[in-house]
Structure 1
Amino acid sequence: MINKKEITLDYYIRTTWQNLFKMYNHIAAKYGLTQATGLVLLILHYDKPTLSGELAEAMGWEPTSLSRLLNSMEKKGLICRKNDPNDKRKVGIYLTDLGKEKKVIAKKVVKTLDDLIKAKLSPEEIDTFISVFHKINDEIENYKAENSI
């Protein structure tokens, strides 16, 4: 039997995220999406461009890692990219009409899964969960600041 005290907190965070990732991918596949494309759609603005660097930062990805996903999304007609007329180095990412439709679906998927999970938790458990994750994130941010990450 595994001693729970020997299992690290990151194990629980990682395995929970992996399970959520699988759930998102399973549901998103029904709509021709993936978890990653859904996340991009949710981050992109409806009515103005999002710069690729801003998108990468919001996703926690390196810009080069995002490139393949954006190429795929562009081929599927979910997004289009346009150079900034004032600064050719900047590329704005825009939702297409199809991308806007899929963004609505992605929001519903996230809300449905969130409601499913929250239905099994008391308000106190939800508050505790959020509080603990804030503490973990604060500690990570402190570490990053102290170590110039």
Structure 2
Amino acid sequence: MNPTDYSQPIHPIFFFYQPENDFYHYKVNCKEIKYKDIPYFLNKSLNNLNNRDHVTKSHENEHIFFYYQQYDNRFYQVICELVSPTAITNYLNENIYGIKLQQNMDQEKLSFIIEQKQNLEFHLTQYLSNYLLN
């Protein structure tokens, strides 16, 4: 079936999102997974669970989960990256007021906590279920 046959609105695969009950914004990237690649991603996820000690600090601000789009039977790897509140403030100041403040983002260490991941997955899955990803 052609995606245009559905009555669901189309949503881009790259976007920013802020779930309910959460202070942070997230940069979201939904990458479609082909059926033939599903075993690879499942094995990779299992290996990551078994090798938690090898997780690097550079990925503490990133959360990845998998999403099944029921309307068109597609699977997606959803990559969510915490957006720095300082980056948002700098962007707004520069693009709305034309001023560039020198706020230091190097000191800002962002990382997910388990409740934050669960809240994000729950609300983002609910949100995405209203759209077709394109």
Same fold (TM over 0.5): no
> What TM-score range do you get, normalising by the shorter chain?
under 0.3
**What TM-score do the two structures reach when normalised by structure 1?**
0.26
- Return the index of the structure with the highest Cα Rg: 1
| More helix as a share of residues | 1
Going by fraction, where is strand more abundant, 1 or 2?
2
